[in-house]
Amino acid sequence: MITGLMFRDSIISAANNIANSRQAVDALNIFPVPDGDTGTNMSMTISAAAKEMATLDNNCTIDEASSKCASALLRGARGNSGVILSLIFRGFSKGFKGLKEAGSKDIANAFKEGVEAAYKAVMKPTEGTILTVVREAKDAAVEMADIQDDPLEVAFAALQAAKAALAKTPELLPVLKKAGVVDAGGQGLILIFEGMESVWHNGVIVQPLEGSSVNPVLPVSKSTVANASDDIKFGYCSEFLIEKLETAKEKDPLKLRAFLESIGDCVVVVDDNDIIKVHVHSNEPGNVIQAALKYGQLINIKIDNMRYQHANAELGVKDGEKVIEPTVSAPENDYGFVAVCAGKGLEELFSDIGADVIVNGGQTMNPSTDDILNAVMNTPAKTVFVLPNNKNIIMAAEQTIPLASDREVRVLQTKTIPQGISAMLAFDDTSSADENQMAMMTAAETVETAQITFAARDSEVDGKEVHKGEIMGLCNGKIRFIGDSITDIAYKSADRLFKRNEHSLITIIYGDGVSEEDAVKVEEKLNKKYGSDAEISIVNGGQPVYYFIISVE
């Protein structure tokens, strides 16, 4: 039987195993654009689960371990590969629900649930990817469970089938075959399964390779953190002052105290002339704030997640590390915005056009679901629009929708920075959420985007040979130009997208590695060709990775 202890240690082993090889998995990415890379995203995703596993004691059930693992994976998911990985393990946790330990049929059922969850999340599943690998593993597990009442044999059969499926991915995806590689996501999943197998079959937790710079995650012998966290009945500590208003709906502080005592504990409500001091522990900080607003305006608001604080205190923080506690803002406004971007100039731009919270991230550093969720919870709005501004962040953002219990989250599928900017500019505070979502996405979809960057690796894309270090011009995500001159490639890319009588605006956003003078050179070339037909503006975005991001609309 597979026990909770075995599952706990297997996740720790899996995290160490993929971390040891994450750069090799990254190298399997065939598209030459520098990005968040599959190996790194999957490694960071499962490492979040490994840290949670380290808080479980030796007597945990497989239900407890898999459930905690799934929750941590969901919140720690980065990039599309990380989200799919989290969904596979969410399915596993469903298969193990209510079980102390798992038998052969339970392992097969867990694979069924995992495959179903992963395929459901992808609008157009592509074979020859991680989905194929896990599906073949499931088929083998189900087949073995019918003839062998041994969960270890079922798990081993699944691993062998997964390896065979990975080897066949180049036959299913010609682009992999041409590059001479297997699917990166599938390879990452194999490494995770191999790390788990090491514990299940051999009782050995994979350790970091010497010099790999991987920090090992080791299990603890007792559940001090888990038990103490469970003892915290009410997770949020809310403190603030209410400035009384003559026009307030409510006047009697005793009524507020009674309400707070009905939803929490450690209640302090002190009526002090023009001020009411409030302190309460609850699981509903949003409701606390809403009730308080009936008495006046709030100042000095402080909301702490006590379970989060306690977990960090017990697990410890290494020297030099900074733990940022998530904050919760009351949903006071009708609408709010979270935007993902990197670069001081872009952060300021999104703030200027209405973004409440900026999540730092983008092409090379995909934020986790938890990063985006914390931003959503720190946005003081009942409906929060999230702009991922990168196709590899959309899935992680969408996982926040069911997690934000006291506010509605709407993820706009913006794939580039210019799409996000246009979407925000199309917002109308007099329209409904549905109307705004439609109008904002319509505006985003009319924007043409050029991105100028460098090739991170040798590759061949759409018949074009690309060599590491060359400058590439991407037009709406496709490599159209390759060369040595950044400004020349930028001009050619913008020129390809701009069409007279269809477009009138060009915005040149310059980032790291180029100057305003470089942007002016591109502007001058475009002005020479299009004259008054094009209104051109230059913005200092300060973004990494992309020398230029050019918007045409």
The per-residue pLDDT string of the chain (553 residues; one tens digit each, 9 = 90 and over) reads 899 999 999 999 999 999 988 888 888 877 767 665 888 889 999 999 998 898 888 999 999 999 999 989 988 888 888 899 999 999 999 999 999 999 999 999 999 999 999 898 877 888 889 999 999 999 999 999 999 899 999 999 999 999 999 999 989 988 888 778 899 999 999 999 999 999 998 899 988 776 554 555 554 443 333 444 445 677 788 888 888 888 888 888 889 988 988 888 877 787 766 788 888 888 888 888 989 999 998 887 878 777 665 555 444 444 444 444 567 788 889 999 999 998 999 999 999 999 999 998 876 678 889 899 989 988 999 999 999 999 989 999 999 998 887 889 999 999 999 999 999 999 999 999 999 999 999 999 999 999 999 887 777 776 778 888 889 999 998 889 999 999 999 999 999 999 988 999 999 999 989 999 999 999 999 999 999 899 999 999 998 889 999 999 9
- DSSP secondary-structure letter at 81? H
Position of tokens 């790291």?
512
pLDDT of residue 309: 57
Q: Could you write out the three-class secondary structure of 206-273? A: CCCCCCCCCCCCCCCCCCHHHHHHHHCCCCEEEEEEEEECCCCCCCCHHHHHHHHHHHEEEEEEEEEC
**Six-digit token pair at 124?**
């157009």
End-to-end CA separation in angstroms for the chain: 61
Amino acid at 522: V
Amino acid at 36: G
pLDDT of residue 22: 85
Predicted model pTM: 0.76
Calpha distance 368→371 (Å, rounded): 5
Beta strands in 80-172 (DSSP E): 101-102
pLDDT of residue 312: 53
Distance of CA 304 to the CA centre of its chain: 22
Does residue 169 contact residue 183 with C-beta atoms inside 8 Å?
yes
Q: For the sheet containing 333-341, what is the strand order?
A: 357-360, 333-341, 381-387, 408-411
Residue 142, H or E segment: helix 130-147
Give the count of alpha carbons within 13 A of 205, CB side only: 20
Judging by DSSP bridges, how do beta strands 548-552 and 357-360 pair with one another? unpaired
pLDDT of residue 323: 44
Beta strands in 110-155 (DSSP E): none
Calpha distance 440→354 (Å, rounded): 14
pLDDT of residue 237: 82
pLDDT of residue 434: 95
Calpha distance 524→285 (Å, rounded): 54
Calpha distance 514→348 (Å, rounded): 19
